[in-house]
Amino acid sequence: MQLSITSVGVALGSKVVTNEDLSEQNPDLDLAAITAKTGTVRRLSSPQESALELASRAATQILAEADKSSVDCLIAVTSTSDLRFPGVACLLQHKLGLRTSVFAFDVNLGCSGFVYAYITLGALTLAGVVKRPLLVCTDTYTRFIASNDRAARPIFSDAAAAMLFSPDEGMTIIDYDVGTDGGGGYDLMLRGIPPNPEDVANGGTTRMDLHMDGAKVLMFTLSKVPASVRKVLTRQGLNPEDISHFIFHQASKIVLDNLQRNLKIPEDRLFRNLEKFGNTVSCTIPICLKDLIDGKQLRPGSLLLLCGFGVGLSWATCLIRVGRMP
């Protein structure tokens, strides 16, 4: 399956929150422990920066110099839309001024969502269903995290990332492995919290709250992700040294360190930008790819291994050969 990246746009939450800021807001937090386990900077969205608004900003960056009439597919990956329906893709089609014949739908996944959607687009392109797809990942998890949440508050950031593709030899999907274990689904979820009975008379309504059992999600990651990566490498007769860049979902520093140690990945092959952006959920891998493209670090013929994991609980690994680059 061939699906080349034509251009990438990124929009970040406008408020920057450092570890020092977290420590000031929560004096009982251990700043040294936070720094050791996570990135150092988070980007929070303002009340006006919804998942749809961030998605529109990211996509507008790359459509300004593109032929919008050629876009025939729009996939929006998000689990934090302000609305239960309609989907973000439908609203985004209108906001961006795309043609009404566009094939548009949402993928309701978190950190594995980009790789799932990328594989789906590869299949749709191979089948001749689409030729010029636009993929937008957008998540605003911080809106649903309590200020004193020790598990989630130090990790997540808000962002959107948009990619425009063309079906040529720029990138070839060689192999992939995906999986789902819904038995752990409740370990990372956005749940509805009903109002206190005494608040009902004052118009209290259900609020949404992000729940993450950090220990269980870490155990899930370390049990499923290395096995998935090894499965793809073994099928293709490859070793970690054969991969130019391992691009994992930027979950946290402790997760990346453990995956690197488990899989024996050379330091110069594991790409990281967590310290600049934090965990932007479905956006982490496309933001990594943008960094690599902007830094001209991708070479024709090199191999990339992408791997996302999280909400579901789910995981997706994809092996790609680089061809022509934008």
What pLDDT, in 10s, does the model give residues 55-91? 999 999 999 989 999 999 999 999 999 888 999 999 9
The model's pLDDT over 221-261, given as tens digits with 9 standing for 90+, comes to 999 999 999 999 999 999 999 999 999 999 999 999 999 99
- Structure confidence at residue 163 as a pLDDT band (50, 70, 90): very high
Alpha-carbon distance values, 97 to 61, 71, 90, 126 (Å)? 14, 11, 11, 26
Mean residue pLDDT of the chain comes to 90
Q: Does residue 201 carry a pLDDT above 70?
A: no
Amino acid sitting at position 16: V
| Distance from C-alpha of 121 to C-alpha of 132, rounded to nearest angstrom | 10
Query: Could you give the domains of the chain?
Result: 4-168 (3.40.47.10), 174-183+212-322 (3.40.47.10)
CA angle, 228 then 233 then 234, to 5°: 95
Is the distance from CB of 277 to CB of 10 less than 8 angstroms? no
Q: Which residues are CB-contacts of 198 (< 8 A; sequence separation ≥ 6)?
A: none
pTM: 0.92
| Distance from C-alpha of 39 to C-alpha of 250, rounded to nearest angstrom | 9
Is the distance from CB of 247 to CB of 287 less than 8 angstroms? no
Q: Residue 203: its pLDDT value, please? A: 55
- Structure confidence at residue 220 as a pLDDT band (50, 70, 90): very high
Q: Does residue 193 carry a pLDDT above 80?
A: no
Q: Residue 29: its pLDDT value, please? A: 73
The model's pLDDT over 8-42, given as tens digits with 9 standing for 90+, comes to 999 999 998 887 888 787 777 777 777 777 767 88
CA angle, 187 then 116 then 296, to 5°: 115
The model's pLDDT over 100-151, given as tens digits with 9 standing for 90+, comes to 999 999 999 999 999 999 999 999 999 999 999 999 999 999 998 888 787 7
Dmax over CA atoms of the chain, in Å, equals 65
| Distance from C-alpha of 271 to C-alpha of 250, rounded to nearest angstrom | 9
